[in-house]
Amino acid sequence: MPDMNTSQRFLIENTDIRGEMVTLTSSYLDTIVNHKYPEAVSQLLGQFLAAGVLLGSTIKFDGRLVLQARGNGQLSLMMSEYTSAGQIRGIARFPELPSATEFSDLIGKGSLVITVDSKRGKPYQGIVALEADSLAECLQDYFRQSEQLGSWIMLASNASSVSAIMLQQLPAQLQKDADIREEQWQNAIQLAQTLREDELLNLDNQTILHRLFHEHELRLLAPREICYQCSCTRERTAKALLAIGQDEVYSIVAEQGGVAINCEFCGTEYNFGPGEVDLLFGKDGSLH
């Protein structure tokens, strides 16, 4: 597959059904390149990245959406972040190198948390139990329980790319008859379920949609570009040092001659010498 990093919406005309397709290649690889994750962990993280984009496509917000899973499996945390500017990043944490390949073994039982931190409103958080056997099924549970929206999701990943497709039933607007709405929805899902993971990963959006819905009239919107971008900065790292506390930071300076902090997302190293630490903690009265 060529380098593609896009999210593209489509509408099934004369129905209250919309869809979203996500393809991530270099943005996915840029996320995992600085980490020595087992292949199964990398691919699951890729699915979390694509899922974050899918979730972000369903709402209007100016800020960031964070999707994270904390369970009792071999991973202590799996997290992806998607911003309204189309930027993604993510990370996996584990106490010991995971050997599992299945979602249920990697994540285990716990909670899937969706947090929307918007600059124009109060943060929103949705939580659903991790009880299904895949991330796609967990997200479908979330929409059913929290948003009360009919949703169908498919996620697929390999060593070099991630793809996702979502169908979502909208509130009654074009079709008011409940029976007809349900018939249209079930028909759309049945057609979508004929799609194979290898097709989702290797075929372009137009080909997939024609294969699935050639008997329907579709409206395909312009794709939106997605990119990898870490939001770490020197200023944010300095705030992290303040949070650690003066005593702890100065003990590190005394032992190592300075403080070095690596961003766990992108690996960028930020170094603070003794003089910078003094300024940070207001030793000369400049900053506090």
- What are 236-282's pLDDT values in tens digits? 899 888 988 889 999 999 999 999 988 888 888 899 999 899 888 88
Residue 131 near residue 141, CB atoms below 8 Å: yes
What are the residue boundaries of the structural domains of the chain, listed by start?
Answer: 5-228, 234-280
Closest among 50, 99, 52 to 75, alpha carbons compared: 99
Q: If pLDDT is split at 50, 70 and 90, which confidence band does 109 have?
A: very high
Residue 163 CB contacts under 8 Å (≥ 6 apart), including other chains = 21, 22, 23, 24, 50, 155, 156, 157, 200, 201
Q: What is the DSSP letter of 220?
A: E
Weakest mean pLDDT among 84-93, 158-167, 211-220, 238-247 = 238-247
Q: If pLDDT is split at 50, 70 and 90, which confidence band does 60 have?
A: confident
- So what's the pLDDT on residue 93? 95
- So what's the pLDDT on residue 284? 54
CATH dotted code for 5-228: 3.55.30.10
Q: If pLDDT is split at 50, 70 and 90, which confidence band does 286 have?
A: very low
Q: Which residues pair with 6 in a beta bridge?
A: 23, 225
Q: pLDDT for 115-146, tens place per residue?
A: 999 888 788 899 999 999 999 999 999 998 87
Structure-token pair, residue 206:
């137009």
Give the pLDDT mean for 30-52: 96
Q: Letter for the amino acid at 63?
A: G
Q: Residue 33: pLDDT above 60?
A: yes
Q: 3-state DSSP call for residue 247?
A: helix
Residue 144 near residue 102, CB atoms below 8 Å: no
Q: Residue 287: pLDDT above 60?
A: no
Alpha carbons 11 and 20: distance in angstroms, whole number? 9
Residue 216 near residue 19, CB atoms below 8 Å: no
Give the pLDDT mean for 56-61: 90
pTM (2 d.p.): 0.89
Structure-token pair, residue 175:
């079709």
- So what's the pLDDT on residue 1? 64
Does the domain made of 234-280 have the CATH classification 3.90.1280.10?
yes
Q: What is the DSSP string of 182-197?
A: HHHHHHHHHHHTT--H
pLDDT over 70 for what percent of the chain?
97
Give the pLDDT mean for 143-152: 84
- So what's the pLDDT on residue 84? 94
Q: pLDDT for 183-209, tens place per residue?
A: 999 999 999 999 999 999 999 999 999
Give the pLDDT mean for 83-102: 96
Mean pLDDT estimate for the chain: 92
10 Å CB burial of residue 253 (0-12, 13-18, 19+) is: middle
